[in-house]
Structure 1
């Protein structure tokens, strides 16, 4: 009976490890890793472009930026060079360098 329990435990560990490895090799898993790295290191090197309603470039920011948006999508905020930047109701495009 002990042997069956050990085999079951080993099988569980192998399946759990396989699932974890599989997850981190998916696009969702890789995004999750990037999110954790961005959160723990103060952001990623990015270019943030802010556009007006008629498509004109209003402002561009570059640097190590950690983006936080809202669930409603009408506000984005980030810190750059020790200053908080909050953008309301604009089209914002962020690109990772």
Structure 2
């Protein structure tokens, strides 16, 4: 998506840049679905990667909300893979 077409409002430009940064993040997590510590470490890595992508835009309410939504979606996918048994094997790309 081309976010540059947004109005010239600085807040909108900042949000557009943050969305573009988030769009570049690819999350591939490896974890042992039978090891809680491994799962928690993978979820921590997920949070850290998303937080790093939006670090320059911290405090922007829209950016924070979008980041939270992406984290929630990815966490759901990890937990879904564990429940369905799809987490066995190599890492899965989540976003």
Q: Using structure 1 for the length normalisation, give the TM-score.
A: 0.29
Higher relative CO (CA 8 A, sep ≥ 6), structure 1 or 2?
A: 2
Q: Using structure 2 for the length normalisation, give the TM-score.
A: 0.29
Greater Rg over alpha carbons, structure: 1
Higher-helix-fraction structure: 2
